[in-house]
């Protein structure tokens, strides 16, 4: 498995390639999000899609994240990386990412339950459309992973080393969510921690499958399984269980939900610790080459 090692010696050309990536990727995505928001505001005001929220959200997701996926693939290829690279052991990567995603979400819920912040909602009226949310989440998560862990992180890591590559791509990932309505220091900090988790998974697996699996399982568990997004209320496409978070905002009781919760902070720090321990174990158990 790849390790977080020292930074390579970067040439002036490499440095400009990395700097251009840091400018091009966030700028392209920010413009895409702003244009999408304005376009759909106009569509909603026109009444072209009627009052069907599912149609509005579904079309918005396909066009926005479809555009983001295309942007990430083109950007990665233009900057000399393989944004859809799976890694050497795809099945193992999927299993590790999925397990850590489920583990992290269960830790979040456990902290909220311990803090008496979990309430059972009134039921999800659109539960029959959960399957559609699961499909749309594939596109959303894949698009974000292709951009940040498939394009941005590899370019930065090749120039300034894995540590800088993971950290800067995680920061860009967190800050981009400001365009999507993220608010508050704790929310951005949690998104940054999530970016670190997914960045390390991508780095150590050599592709985006592990980070995709973690991201996907986390998202669909939060929304389609437990119905925690939005808070309070039910997702547009419904959920299998309808839970709400109450109490103070720092425990998830505000409109930002788990994103602004110390429960998410604790879960992500614990996941990072698991990844670090696994890396340390791999280094100690790896056979020493004979001389």
**Average pLDDT of every residue of the chain:** 88
Residue 254, CA distances (Å) to 46, 174, 229, 233, 246 in order:
32, 19, 11, 12, 7
Alpha helices in 79-208 (DSSP H): 90-114, 130-145, 153-160, 162-176, 185-205
Instruction: Give, as one character, the DSSP assignment of residue 245.
Output: E
Residue 9: is it exposed, middle or buried by C-beta count within 10 angstroms (0-12/13-18/19+)? exposed
pLDDT digits (tens, 9 = 90+) for 237-287: 989 999 999 989 899 989 999 999 999 999 999 999 999 998 777 767 655
- pLDDT tens digits, one per residue of 64-100: 999 999 999 999 999 999 999 998 899 999 999 999 9
Local structure of residue 181 (DSSP, 8 states):
T
Answer positive or negative: Cα dihedral of 259, 73, 81, 34: negative
Q: What average pLDDT does range 177-195 have in this prediction?
A: 92
pTM for the model stands at 0.90
Using only C-alpha atoms, the chain has a radius of gyration, in whole angstroms, of 20
When mean pLDDT is compared across 188-192, 232-236, 252-256, 286-290, the lowest value belongs to 286-290
- What pLDDT was estimated at residue 10? 58
Residue 217, exposed/middle/buried by CB under 10 A (0-12, 13-18, 19+)?
A: buried
Which pLDDT score, from 0 to 100, does residue 9 have? 53
What average pLDDT does this structure show over 2-8? Answer: 53
């Amino acid at each position: 498995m790849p390790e977080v090692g020292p930074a390579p010696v970067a040439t002036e050309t490499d440095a400009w390639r990395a700097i251009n990536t840091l400018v091009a990727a966030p700028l392209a995505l920010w413009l895409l999000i702003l244009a999408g928001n304005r376009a759909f505001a106009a569509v909603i005001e026109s009444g072209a899609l009627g009052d069907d929220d599912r149609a509005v959200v579904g079309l918005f997701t396909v066009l926005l994240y479809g555009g983001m996926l295309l942007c990430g693939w083109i950007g990665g290829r233009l900057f000399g990386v393989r944004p859809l690279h799976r890694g050497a052991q795809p099945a193992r990567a999927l299993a590790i990412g999925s397990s850590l995603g489920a583990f992290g979400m269960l830790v979040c819920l456990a902290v909220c339950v311990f803090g008496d912040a979990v309430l059972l909602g009134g039921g999800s009226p659109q539960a029959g459309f959960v399957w559609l949310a699961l499909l749309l989440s594939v596109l959303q998560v894949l698009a974000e992973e292709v951009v940040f862990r498939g394009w941005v992180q590899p370019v930065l890591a090749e120039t300034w080393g894995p540590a800088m590559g993971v950290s800067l791509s995680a920061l860009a990932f967190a800050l981009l969510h400001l365009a999507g309505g993220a608010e508050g220091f704790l929310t951005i900090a949690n998104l940054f921690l999530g970016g670190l988790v997914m960045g390390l998974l991508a780095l150590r697996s050599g592709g985006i499958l592990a980070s995709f699996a973690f991201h996907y399982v986390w998202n669909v568990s939060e929304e389609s399984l437990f119905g925690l997004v939005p808070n309070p209320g039910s997702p547009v496409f419904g959920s299998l269980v309808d839970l709400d978070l109450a109490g103070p905002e720092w425990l998830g009781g505000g409109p930002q939900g788990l994103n602004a919760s110390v429960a998410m902070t604790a879960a992500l720090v614990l996941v990072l610790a698991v990844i670090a321990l696994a890396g340390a174990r791999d280094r100690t158990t790896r056979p020493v080459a004979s001389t």
